[in-house]
Amino acid sequence: MSAVSLRNLCKRYGAVPVLDGIDLEVPAGSIYGLLGLNGAGKTTLLRLLMGFLHPSGGAGFLLGRPLGQLEGKERARVAYVPEQPAFYPGLRVGELLRFVGALHPRWDPDAAKRYLDAFGLPPERKVGALSTGMRTQLALGLALSTQPQLLILDEPASGLDPVHRKRYLQALLEACAVPERTVLLTSQDLGLVERTCDHFALLHDRRIQVAGPIAEILDAERRLLVSAGPSASSALAALDGVRTVRAEAHGFLVSGRVEPDALRRTAGVMKVQVLGVSLEELFWDYVGE
Ligand code: ATP
């Protein structure tokens, strides 16, 4: 079953298209990283999922229900942490917890206390007096204390120093271990996605360029250093599965879902060296830098 399922989803702001034909399946139980450059439309996509924005076209489903139609107890199964969470600044941390706890049907007070302790958040401190990093941790603690089936995080861990970031990611990874819990997060941080996620999608040019299990995708992708004269360039580019061919000192760097033997058989190719592919290299390949 998919926790999130999008079919040809489109979003325009006025006449400006931001998302155009998004197809995406986020399997239940996965930890899914949505990558993309600034302005790619990641936050827009999350806001569409939450029903804060209406799609301009296409269809989407969250926990099996059409977007914007999750209500009551079903809705309480979804927790969303925006990039800059907003709290009542005059409330103390302890008061905020009691306030949310009184409203939320899935609230776990013991978990809330554990997160406060783990993140070192003083219950007596006014929320408005917390640092940005402390508010980031408070938002995650609150979200996890509602025991979400689907946790949606926009740019988690941004603005945290290395020590607090480690604690934050530790809490997140432990929370991800709960069976049937799905986590969908956006991030600019490829390392964070590679370490925490099992699936990813890359949003670029208004579309999902590549999506699926990280290990499977990296296994199928190749980067190949090809020794060949300049005339081999167009033959290499024409091979099935080749995505990019870049000139290098003594030949070309070829990337794509292509078998090394297909390159070895290409006229003018003298030698093919197979290089590993990281998520970062794949990212650069698609965004074209
Ligand atoms: P970042 O990584 O910088 O947070 P993002 O991938 O989350 O970016 P969005 O915030 O979804 O990107 O923005 C996508 C595009 O939509 C941007 O060009 C942005 O200027 C535009 N946009 C976002 N919100 C609105 C709005 N309310 N009205 C008009 N345009 C908007």
Token readout for 221 is 């992708």
Distance in Å, CA 11 to ligand 1 centroid: 11
Instruction: Find the CATH number of the domain harbouring 255.
Output: 3.30.70.920
Same domain? 198 vs 97: yes
Each residue of 88-143: pLDDT tens digit? 999 999 999 999 999 999 999 999 999 999 999 999 999 999 998 899 999 999 99
20-44 average pLDDT score: 96
Query: Where a domain ends, among 161, 186, 217?
Result: 217
Q: In the structure encoding, which two tokens stand for residue 52, read together?
A: 């804060």
pLDDT category, 193, cuts 50, 70, 90? Answer: very high
Whether residues 170 and 98 fall in one domain: yes
Cα–Cα nearest to 118, from 72, 180, 168, 191: 168
pLDDT at 201: 97
Same domain, 134 and 38: yes
Q: Is the pLDDT of residue 242 over 90?
A: yes
pLDDT of 213 reads 97
Q: Using an 8 Å Cβ cutoff, are 193 and 279 in contact?
A: yes
Single out the residue in 190, 217, 244 at which a domain terminates.
217
Residues 80 and 208 in one domain: yes
Model confidence pLDDT, tens digit, residues 211-233:
999 999 999 999 999 999 888 99
Which pLDDT score is estimated for 185?
97
pLDDT value of residue 289: 61
Given 164, 194, 217, which residue is the final one in a domain?
A: 217
Q: Flag whether pLDDT at 210 surpasses 90.
A: yes
Which residue is closest in CA terms to ligand 1's atom 8? 39
Output the pLDDT for position 9: 97
Check whether residue 225 and residue 250 sit in a common domain. yes
DSSP the chain: -EEEEEEEEEEEETTEEEEEEEEEEEETT-EEEEE--TTSSHHHHHHHHTTSS--SEEEEEETTEETT---HHHHTTEEEE-SS----TTSBHHHHHHHHHHH-TT--HHHHHHHHHHHT--TTSBGGGS-HHHHHHHHHHHHHHT--SEEEEESTTTT--HHHHHHHHHHHHHHHTSTT-EEEEEES-HHHHHHH-SEEEEEETTEEEEEEEHHHHHHH-EEEEEEE-GGGHHHHHTSTTEEEEEEETTEEEEEES--HHHHHTSTTEEEEEEE---HHHHHHHHHT-
- 13 and 107 together in one domain: yes
Q: Domain range spanning residue 281?
A: 221-287
Which ligand 1 atom is the nearest neighbour of the CA of 37? Answer: 2
Q: Which of 133, 143, 126, 136 is nearest to 91 (CA)?
A: 126
Please check whether residues 206 and 253 belong to one and the same domain.
Answer: no
Within 6 A (CB) of ligand 1 lie 13, 18, 36, 38-44
Identify whether residues 111 and 22 lie together within a single domain. yes
- Number of structural domains (the chain) is 2
Closest ligand 1 atom to Cα of 41: 11
Do 230 and 192 fall into the same domain?
no
245 and 275 part of one domain: yes
Q: What is the pLDDT of residues 4-21, one digit of tens each?
A: 999 999 999 999 999 999
Specify the pTM: 0.91
Across all residues in the chain, what is the average pLDDT?
93
How many angstroms separate the alpha carbon of residue 232 from the centre of ligand 1? 41
Same domain, 204 and 250: no
- CATH number at 52 reads 3.40.50.300
Q: Does the pLDDT at position 188 exceed 90?
A: no
Instruction: Give percent of the chain with pLDDT exceeding 90.
Output: 74
> Does 65 share its domain with 155?
yes
pLDDT (tens digit per residue) in 38-74: 999 999 999 999 999 999 999 999 999 999 898 888 9
Dihedral pair phi/psi, residue 45, rounded to 5°: -65, -45
Residue 230 has a pLDDT of 87
* Confidence tier at 249 by pLDDT (50, 70, 90): confident
